[in-house]
């Protein structure tokens, strides 16, 4: 299968128009873990005391998060243990657990739920962490994710990303497209936008309060920024021609976009987040598209066919010469940068198969992360440890996640249909 560079962002609508999806607005994604990492840390997680006061079983959410990460071997205690209970840590060490998680739930006078937990080290017979997290009853699931993040950070040494959100595009019926937002585990799905025309290229703002995307509701590609708090929508790029591929600067003050102004092929532009101060960045006779800012905001990576086939380039935001970044393979698209700026992920065509690759920008060491034939739309988790993407062009009705070392793989799937264009949201400020 051949994909022209313009199809990356300018004509994905044609593919989206062919989607067929049977999915209710309330449908939840389900998690299927298809791979685990090596050297898993054995951790026992008890059922929290008084969990029945919440519709969300907090201990089960913690177990699912940690199991999905690939770093932990979950030991079910088979019992309820409060954080105030007297605990014989030696007995848990004898059962093979290096750590033990216990806790409880309490409903406060205002209706909110206080989730308390402790993380205990059975090897050194000490306490590693303790938290009290208060949320509304509707957000008790978030408390579970926040505890899983704390456990991940204390035991792995890196920030967790369980209490973050994802978004993706779905289509149902004859012509109903939805931009949906969900927790990182695919639960608690919310519809941010419903349209009778395609929605593509969603991109989270750095503070997690807005999403930029391309809408075809006016029969042409227009870049819109939508506030997720009040649903206010602002058109930021509606120039003659096609407006596509929005990407936020790390400080949220600017957007990079691909425009076909003046009848030219797509070129990369930078503008303020409110749509003002448009400035052209690239100027070639070919196609330049899919811009992405570097972690420090000083460089823009993009896809260009200036060398004959699509490859990934970078150039300073202030202007200057573009440098080619990818050389292995004759077709590399969809650049994505990790939050620490050390890793570039992209889709590469090798042997007729479109697969996800990652390259260490310091050493130029490249690694293939997926085994599919038509992977699309990679997106880094905010901690840079995982990549989400649409396998098989979204036709499997699932989103897939792979760790950056390729050892951990799992999917978030629905019962039928197609979802695509996933993007992993940032840490909330």
Query: What value does the mean pLDDT of the chain take?
Result: 89
**DSSP three-state, residue 15:** helix
Give the other-Cβ count within 10 Å of 365's Cβ.
Answer: 9
Per the model's pLDDT, the better-predicted residue between 53 and 175 turns out to be 53
Residues 262-272 have pLDDT tens digits of: 888 999 999 99
Most confident of 30-39, 71-80, 245-254: 245-254
For range 278-305, the mean pLDDT: 96
* Ramachandran class of 405: left when φ > 0, alpha when ψ lies in -120 to 50, beta otherwise: alpha
Q: Are 44 and 120 in contact (CB under 8 A)?
A: no
Burial class (CB in 10 A: 0-12, 13-18, 19+), 251: exposed
Give the other-Cβ count within 10 Å of 175's Cβ.
Answer: 12
- Residue found by looking up tokens 């990679």 in the block: 378
- Look up residue 20 and give its two tokens: 């067929």
The CA distance from 379 to 184, in Å, is 12
Query: Residue 138: pLDDT above 90?
Result: yes
* Ramachandran class of 215: left when φ > 0, alpha when ψ lies in -120 to 50, beta otherwise: beta
- What CATH class is the domain 5-27+165-424? mainly beta
39-156 topology per CATH:
Rossmann fold (3.40.50)
The reported pTM is: 0.90
Residues above pLDDT 90, as percent of the chain:
80
- Residue found by looking up tokens 């200036």 in the block: 306
The full set of domain ranges for the chain reads 5-27+165-424, 39-156
**Confidence band for 228, pLDDT divided at 50, 70 and 90:** very high
CA dihedral 101, 144, 404, 388 (to 10 degrees): 160
What are phi and psi for residue 94, nearest 5 degrees?
Answer: -65, -25
Which residues partner with 127 through β-bridges? 120
Give the other-Cβ count within 10 Å of 240's Cβ.
Answer: 11
Query: Residue 47: pLDDT above 70?
Result: yes
């Amino acid at each position: 299968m051949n994909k022209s560079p313009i199809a990356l962002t300018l004509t994905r609508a044609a593919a989206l128009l062919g989607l067929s999806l049977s999915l209710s607005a309330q449908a939840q994604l389900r998690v299927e873990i298809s791979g685990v990492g090596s050297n898993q840390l054995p951790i026992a997680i008890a059922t929290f005391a008084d969990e029945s006061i919440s519709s969300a079983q907090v201990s089960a959410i913690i177990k699912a998060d940690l199991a999905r990460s690939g770093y932990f071997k979950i030991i079910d205690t088979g019992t309820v243990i409060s954080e105030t209970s007297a605990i014989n840590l030696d007995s848990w060490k004898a059962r093979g657990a290096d750590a033990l998680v216990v806790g409880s739930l309490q409903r406060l006078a205002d209706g909110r739920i206080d989730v308390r937990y402790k993380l205990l080290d059975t090897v050194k017979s000490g306490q590693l962490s303790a938290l009290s997290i208060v949320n509304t009853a509707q957000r008790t699931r978030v408390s579970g994710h926040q505890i899983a993040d704390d456990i991940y950070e204390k035991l792995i040494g890196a920030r967790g990303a369980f209490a973050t959100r994802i978004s993706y595009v779905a289509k149902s019926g004859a012509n109903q497209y939805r931009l949906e937002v969900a927790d990182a585990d695919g639960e608690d799905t919310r519809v941010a936008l419903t349209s009778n025309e395609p929605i593509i290229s969603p991109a989270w703002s750095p503070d997690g309060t807005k999403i930029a995307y391309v809408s075809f509701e006016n029969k042409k590609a227009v870049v819109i920024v939508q506030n997720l708090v009040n649903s206010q929508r602002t058109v930021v790029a509606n120039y003659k021609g096609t407006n596509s591929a929005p990407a936020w600067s790390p400080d949220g003050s600017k957007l990079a976009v691909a425009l076909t102004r003046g009848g030219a092929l797509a070129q990369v532009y930078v503008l303020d987040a409110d749509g003002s101060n448009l400035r052209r960045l690239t100027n070639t006779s070919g196609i330049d598209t899919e811009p992405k800012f570097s972690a420090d905001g000083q460089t823009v990576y993009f896809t260009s066919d200036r060398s004959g086939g699509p490859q990934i380039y970078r150039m300073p935001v202030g202007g200057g010469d573009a440098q080619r970044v990818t050389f292995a393979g004759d077709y590399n698209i969809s650049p994505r940068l990790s939050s620490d700026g050390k890793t570039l992920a992209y889709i590469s065509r090798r042997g007729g198969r479109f697969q996800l690759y990652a390259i260490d920008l310091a050493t130029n060491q490249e690694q293939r992360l997926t085994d599919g034939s038509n992977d699309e739309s990679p997106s880094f988790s905010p901690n840079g440890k995982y990549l989400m993407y649409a396998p098989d062009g979204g036709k499997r009705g699932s989103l897939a996640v792979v760790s950056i070392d390729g050892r951990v793989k799992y999917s978030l799937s629905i019962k039928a249909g197609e979802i695509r264009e996933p993007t992993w949201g940032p840490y909330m400020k």
